[in-house]
């Protein structure tokens, strides 16, 4: 291997470079660093008929092109096609920002080029055969899920769980928007496969946030009702109304939640005058508030929210966020995502 100064336009890109996704902002940052400190590590090239072909160092070459350099220092090594690919793959696999999809493509190219088994490729690269097998399995995922991994908005494990119901339910947006964990996605997928009528997961939401879902009474209807306060005294509070499936206004019955609310108040608020029996503390668990997100409606927990207002509680509640299954049923058209670069 020798160090030479060559014309920048004499170096052609490697068409088999496994590193296909390079953020332009990173090229700008690298160009600024090279402009300030110089090129600390020359790219590696190999001689070809019409000049040189890049083996690795594409970001550095693009950075000096952006700086307008006419020449660049490079390390020149005479490598065969197969050897050049192996060097490029090995170098890229050692980078911190390589994605699992990038690793999988590198493994696949190496196996195809050298006609290797997975075990032989693992020995050559110093990784486990199980790791290569798991990574190659990612290439069987739908393109949208591969793109999610490439863009680092999904982990491979999240993508694999989503793939279980791919074509039946579109859960991609839900997983990303709500930052669902692998366990949460698995529970949702299990529920869908078992025929569950809704999708549920728990979050902590503040009293102020939940207050945004407090439904005003429809025009012409009494907007107040009485609830039992934590001191045993009835108080008038805003009545919560919603429309049933026929469009008729109905009200949530506070009495169905009053015991939960009273218990919550006695366990949460320091100035609550009601003392609950120890047995009740041990035997009774307050369920989370239930919120139907698309309808923007509280399903369970109105009384606890009333008590929060009464005592000025502004902390968090455990909330079970609900979506009806029909929101995720697969349609002929799904949100478009750019094609995965092959």
Rounded Cα distance between 48 and 127, Å, is 31
Residues 6+ apart with CB under 8 A from 211: 305, 309
Q: How far is CA 204 from CA 162, 238, 316, in A?
A: 24, 24, 6
Q: Are 290 and 299 in contact (CB under 8 A)?
A: yes
Q: Which of 5, 29, 53, 58 is catalytic?
A: 58
Q: Which helix (H) or strand (E) holds 237?
A: strand 234-238
Q: Say whether 228 sits in a helix, a strand or coil.
A: strand
Buried b vs exposed e over 249-264: b needs ≥16 C-beta within 10 Å?
A: eebbebeebbebbbbb
Q: Are 43 and 61 in contact (CB under 8 A)?
A: yes
Q: Are 96 and 63 in contact (CB under 8 A)?
A: no
Residues 6+ apart with CB under 8 A from 129: 118, 119, 122
**C-alpha 306, offset from chain centre:** 34
Residue 247 region, left (φ>0) first, then alpha (ψ -120 to 50), else beta? left
Rounded Cα distance between 213 and 296, Å, is 6
Active-site residue 282, yes or no?
Answer: no
Residue 255, phi then psi, degrees to nearest 5: -60, -25
Residue 287's DSSP bridge partners are none
Rounded Cα distance between 154 and 100, Å, is 11
Rounded Cα distance between 104 and 159, Å, is 15
Rounded Cα distance between 24 and 21, Å, is 9
Give catalytic residue positions.
58
């Amino acid at each position: 291997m020798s160090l030479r100064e060559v014309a920048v336009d004499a170096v052609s890109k490697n068409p088999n470079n496994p590193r296909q996704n390079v953020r332009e902002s990173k090229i700008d940052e690298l160009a600024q660093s090279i402009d300030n400190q110089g090129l600390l590590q020359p790219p590696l090239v190999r001689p070809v008929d019409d000049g040189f072909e890049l083996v690795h160092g594409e970001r550095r070459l693009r950075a000096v092109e952006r700086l307008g350099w006419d020449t660049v220092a490079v390390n020149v090594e005479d490598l065969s096609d197969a050897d050049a690919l192996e060097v490029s793959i090995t170098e890229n696999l050692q980078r911190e920002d390589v994605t699992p999809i990038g690793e999988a493509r590198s493994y696949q190219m190496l196996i195809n080029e050298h006609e290797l088994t997975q075990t032989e490729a693992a020995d050559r690269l110093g990784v486990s055969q199980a790791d290569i097998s798991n990574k190659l399995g990612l290439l069987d995922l739908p393109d949208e899920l591969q793109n999610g991994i490439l863009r680092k908005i999904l982990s491979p494990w999240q993508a694999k769980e989503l793939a279980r119901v791919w074509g039946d339910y579109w859960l991609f947006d839900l997983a990303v928007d709500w930052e669902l964990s692998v366990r949460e996605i698995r529970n949702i997928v299990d529920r869908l496969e078992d025929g569950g009528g809704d999708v549920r997961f728990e979050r902590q939401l503040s009293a102020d946030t939940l207050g945004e879902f407090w439904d005003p009474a429809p025009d012409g209807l009494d907007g107040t009702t009485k609830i039992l306060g934590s001191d045993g005294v009835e108080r008038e509070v805003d009545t919560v109304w919603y429309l049933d499936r026929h469009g008729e206004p109905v009200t949530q019955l506070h009495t169905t939640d009053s015991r939960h609310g009273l218990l919550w108040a006695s366990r949460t608020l320091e100035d609550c005058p009601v003392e609950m029996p120890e047995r009740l503390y041990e035997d009774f668990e307050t369920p989370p508030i239930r919120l139907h997100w698309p309808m923007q409606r509280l399903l369970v927990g109105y009384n606890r929210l009333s008590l929060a207002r009464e005592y000025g509680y502004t902390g968090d509640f455990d909330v079970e966020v609900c979506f009806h299954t029909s929101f995720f049923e697969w349609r002929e058209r799904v949100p478009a995502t750019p094609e995965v670069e092959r």
